[in-house]
């Protein structure tokens, strides 16, 4: 077992376990914390694949900003514990099998897709620089657009959430 494989299984397992916890835990704040764990585990997995910039962005932006926003909102709204209710019959007999089916199919499909191409050697050590060049050269237009997207999101959030004057 290479270090690669060990780390993959450990952090992959942590990610899955945290995801399961997100579903099973009843208090939203617990779910939010579980999601942060998932993101952290994913960041390690990105690092394992040599995508260090993405890993950094994941931690800083996703886990560090977005999830904090989630926690803020949960605290603000005083979200309470969910009550345990029984799943409806439709949900129990139809929903779970469908979800399992969906997952299995997706797994098969992506496995099938990737087995066709043998994986290349993960040769690059220097990822950030070419990534930046690509971002600011080939994808400069979408890049600028995202800034407008964020502007719109800010404006939208401001307008929606303000108190009526």
74 is written with which tokens?
């949960």
- The whole-angstrom separation of Cα 56 and Cα 46 is 9
Among 89, 125, 161, 165, binds another protein (CB under 8 A): 161
Binding of residue 44 to another protein (CB under 8 A) = no
Please report how close the Cβ of residue 51 comes to another protein at its closest, in angstroms.
5
Token pair 């345990």: residue? 84
Site for another protein in 105-124 (CB under 8 A): 105-115, 117, 119-120, 122-123
Binding of residue 140 to another protein (CB under 8 A) = no
50 is written with which tokens?
């040599």
The secondary structure of 122-154 as a DSSP string is ---S--HHHHHHHHHHTTHHHHHHHHHHHHHHH
Binding of residue 100 to another protein (CB under 8 A) = yes
Question: In sequence order, which residues have a C-beta less than 8 Å from that of residue 117 and are 6 or more positions away?
Answer: none
Q: In this structure, what DSSP letter does residue 88 have?
A: P
Number of residues this chain uses to bind another protein (CB under 8 A): 84
Site for another protein in 22-41 (CB under 8 A): 22-23, 28, 31-32, 35, 38-39
Please report how close the Cβ of residue 45 comes to another protein at its closest, in angstroms.
7
Please report how close the Cβ of residue 149 comes to another protein at its closest, in angstroms.
5
- The whole-angstrom separation of Cα 8 and Cα 54 is 17
Question: Taking the C-alpha atoms of 44, 47, 48 and 50 in order, what is their torsion angle to the nearest 10 degrees?
Answer: 170
Q: Which is nearer to another protein, 161 or 165 (CB)?
A: 161
Q: Which is nearer to another protein, 77 or 125 (CB)?
A: 77
Please report how close the Cβ of residue 92 comes to another protein at its closest, in angstroms.
10
Among 76, 89, 125, 165, binds another protein (CB under 8 A): 76
Token pair 């926003």: residue? 69
Binding of residue 12 to another protein (CB under 8 A) = yes
């Amino acid at each position: 077992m290479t270090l690669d494989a060990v780390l993959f299984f450990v952090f992959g397992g942590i990610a899955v376990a945290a995801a399961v916890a997100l579903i099973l835990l009843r208090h939203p704040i617990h779910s939010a914390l579980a999601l942060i764990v998932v993101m952290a585990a994913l960041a390690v997995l990105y690092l394992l694949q040599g995508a260090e910039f993405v890993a950094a962005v994941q931690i800083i932006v996703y886990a560090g900003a977005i999830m904090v926003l989630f926690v803020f909102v949960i605290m603000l709204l005083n979200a309470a514990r969910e009550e345990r209710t029984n799943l409806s019959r439709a949900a129990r007999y139809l929903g779970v099998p469908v979800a399992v089916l969906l997952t299995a199919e997706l797994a098969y499909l992506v496995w099938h897709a990737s087995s066709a191409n043998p994986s290349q050697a993960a040769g690059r050590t220097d990822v950030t620089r070419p990534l930046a060049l690509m971002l600011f050269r080939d994808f400069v237009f979408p890049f600028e657009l995202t800034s407008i997207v964020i502007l719109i999101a800010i404006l939208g959030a401001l307008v929606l959430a303000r108190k009526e004057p």
